[in-house]
Protein backbone atom coordinates (compact mmCIF):
# COMPACT_ATOMS: atom_id res chain seq x y z
CA UNK A 1 0.00 0.00 0.00
CA UNK A 2 1.20 3.48 -0.82
CA UNK A 3 1.92 5.83 2.02
CA UNK A 4 0.02 9.11 2.15
CA UNK A 5 3.19 10.96 1.13
CA UNK A 6 3.67 8.68 -1.90
CA UNK A 7 0.01 9.02 -2.81
CA UNK A 8 0.19 12.79 -2.62
CA UNK A 9 3.25 12.93 -4.90
CA UNK A 10 1.65 10.65 -7.47
CA UNK A 11 -1.74 12.38 -7.28
CA UNK A 12 -0.56 15.96 -7.79
CA UNK A 13 0.01 15.69 -11.57
CA UNK A 14 -3.48 14.20 -12.05
CA UNK A 15 -5.45 16.15 -9.46
CA UNK A 16 -6.66 18.83 -11.86
CA UNK A 17 -7.17 16.40 -14.75
CA UNK A 18 -9.13 13.52 -13.23
CA UNK A 19 -12.25 15.35 -12.09
CA UNK A 20 -15.86 14.54 -11.43
CA UNK A 21 -17.65 16.18 -14.36
CA UNK A 22 -20.13 18.78 -13.19
CA UNK A 23 -20.63 20.63 -16.46
CA UNK A 24 -20.53 20.00 -20.20
CA UNK A 25 -16.93 21.20 -20.54
CA UNK A 26 -15.52 18.80 -17.94
CA UNK A 27 -17.67 16.00 -19.37
CA UNK A 28 -16.36 16.61 -22.89
CA UNK A 29 -12.80 16.78 -21.55
CA UNK A 30 -13.19 13.31 -20.03
CA UNK A 31 -14.84 11.91 -23.18
CA UNK A 32 -11.92 13.16 -25.30
CA UNK A 33 -9.39 11.78 -22.81
CA UNK A 34 -11.13 8.40 -22.84
CA UNK A 35 -11.15 8.39 -26.65
CA UNK A 36 -7.38 8.97 -26.70
CA UNK A 37 -6.86 6.22 -24.13
CA UNK A 38 -8.97 3.81 -26.16
CA UNK A 39 -6.85 4.59 -29.23
CA UNK A 40 -3.70 3.86 -27.23
CA UNK A 41 -4.86 0.80 -25.29
CA UNK A 42 -6.99 -0.87 -27.94
CA UNK A 43 -7.97 -4.41 -26.93
CA UNK A 44 -4.96 -4.94 -24.66
CA UNK A 45 -6.56 -5.79 -21.31
CA UNK A 46 -3.10 -5.96 -19.74
CA UNK A 47 -2.21 -2.38 -20.66
CA UNK A 48 -1.25 -0.31 -17.59
CA UNK A 49 -3.84 2.36 -18.46
CA UNK A 50 -6.86 0.02 -18.47
CA UNK A 51 -7.80 0.90 -14.89
CA UNK A 52 -7.63 4.62 -15.70
CA UNK A 53 -9.98 4.01 -18.63
CA UNK A 54 -12.39 2.24 -16.30
CA UNK A 55 -12.33 5.12 -13.81
CA UNK A 56 -12.92 7.72 -16.51
CA UNK A 57 -15.69 5.55 -17.94
CA UNK A 58 -17.43 5.44 -14.56
CA UNK A 59 -17.18 9.23 -14.23
CA UNK A 60 -18.62 9.72 -17.71
CA UNK A 61 -21.43 7.25 -17.06
CA UNK A 62 -22.30 8.97 -13.78
CA UNK A 63 -22.53 12.34 -15.53
CA UNK A 64 -24.65 10.90 -18.35
CA UNK A 65 -27.02 9.24 -15.90
CA UNK A 66 -27.51 12.48 -14.03
CA UNK A 67 -27.49 15.09 -16.78
CA UNK A 68 -28.35 13.35 -20.06
CA UNK A 69 -31.66 11.57 -19.46
CA UNK A 70 -32.26 10.66 -23.11
CA UNK A 71 -29.36 8.19 -22.84
CA UNK A 72 -31.39 6.25 -20.24
CA UNK A 73 -33.84 4.85 -22.81
Q: What is the pLDDT of residue 70?
A: 76
Counting the structural domains of the chain, the total is 1
Helix 50-67 with 24-41: angle, nearest 10 deg: 150
- Whether residue 7 lies inside any domain: the answer is no
46 inside domain: yes
The pLDDT tens digits for 14-71 are: 999 999 999 999 999 999 999 999 999 999 999 999 999 999 999 999 999 999 877 6
Identify the domain containing residue 41 by its residue range: 16-72
3: left (phi over 0), alpha (psi -120 to 50) or beta: beta
Q: Does some domain include residue 47?
A: yes
Question: Residue 67: which residues within 8 A CB-CB, separation 6 or more?
Answer: 27
Question: Does residue 21 contact residue 30 with C-beta atoms inside 8 Å?
Answer: yes
| pLDDT value for 46 | 96
In the DSSP assignment, the letter for residue 72 is G
Instruction: Note whether residue 59 is domain-resident.
Output: yes
The whole model's pTM is what?
0.87
Residue 54 in contact with residue 48, Cβ under 8 Å? no
Amino acid sequence: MLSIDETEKLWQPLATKLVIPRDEASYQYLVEWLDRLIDEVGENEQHPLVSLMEIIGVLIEQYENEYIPELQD
